Amino acid sequence: MEPFSTIYDSENEILTNYTLHEEKKISDMKGYFINEEAREKIEKEENKVVYKVYKQDVPLIEGELLHCLTCIQPGNVDGQFFMTKGHYHLNEKCAEIYHCLKGDGLLLLQKEDQIKILEFKPNAIAYIPAGWGHRTVNISFTKSLVFFSVWPAQSGYDYERTMKEPFQSSIVKDKESYKIIRR
């Protein structure tokens, strides 16, 4: 493949020249929030966008790197902040790097009985070691959380595992801030 570059358009919160754009709406997040009834209500009323992903395709072969921009909207479901679905990599030997560009968030990480919650603010560069499940949460009431990720092209995604072994912590509103609760 040919070398290429993309531009992060910070004002519009997109990666220009993307080849793949995904939008996860409230209707795509069935079973991910604690209060499923509240999620259904929002789905019927407005079906808001929870997060967007802009990705560049590369060959899914050893040595290549995938990269993307994720933008999580501000919002909550019955007080539980908007977040990504979260996943493990199918290939447990694949790590990942997240670089926060904008907003205010938390990165939830877990591996078996180990849990880590990292602050995720602009300029934070988080290293997600191989084998750790990862989910990002936008804890701002007004701003999007925007971050850039880079990971091996052969990682794959395991979303089912996060259903069988759900994230142990949830991030909910607490007055003007947030608190961490056990799920």
β-strands 65-72, 49-56 pairing: antiparallel
User: Is the Cβ of residue 29 or residue 42 nearer to ligand F6R in the bound state?
Assistant: 29
Buried b (16+ CB within 10 A) or exposed e, 114-146: ebeebebeeeeebebeeebbbbbbbbbeeebbb
Q: Which of 54, 73, 80, 96 binds ligand F6R (CB under 6 A)?
A: 96
Judged by DSSP in three states, 36 sits in: helix
Binding track over 27-66 against ligand F6R, x by CB under 6 A: --------------------------x-------------
Q: Which of 32, 120, 151, 167 binds ligand F6R (CB under 6 A)?
A: 151
Under rule CB under 6 A, how many of the chain's residues touch ligand F6R? 13
Q: Does 68 bind ligand F6R (CB under 6 A)?
A: yes
* Maximal CA-CA distance, the chain: 51
Q: Does 111 bind ligand F6R (CB under 6 A)?
A: no
CA end-to-end span of the chain:
44
Please list, in sequence order, all residues whose beta carbon lies within 8 angstroms of the beta carbon of residue 110, skipping any fewer than 6 positions away: 116, 132, 133, 167, 168
What is d(CA 61, CA 181) in angstroms, rounded to the nearest whole number?
39
Q: Which stretch binds ligand F6R (CB under 6 A): 81-89, 118-126, 138-146, 171-179?
A: 81-89
User: Is the Cβ of residue 55 or residue 178 nearer to ligand F6R in the bound state?
Assistant: 55
Per-residue tokens: 149? 């990720």
Q: Does 149 bind ligand F6R (CB under 6 A)?
A: yes
What is d(CA 68, CA 14) in angstroms, rounded to the nearest whole number?
10
User: Is the Cβ of residue 54 or residue 178 nearer to ligand F6R in the bound state?
Assistant: 54
Q: Does 137 bind ligand F6R (CB under 6 A)?
A: no
**Which residues bind to ligand F6R, rule: CB under 6 A?**
53, 68, 70, 84-87, 96, 134, 149, 151, 155, 157
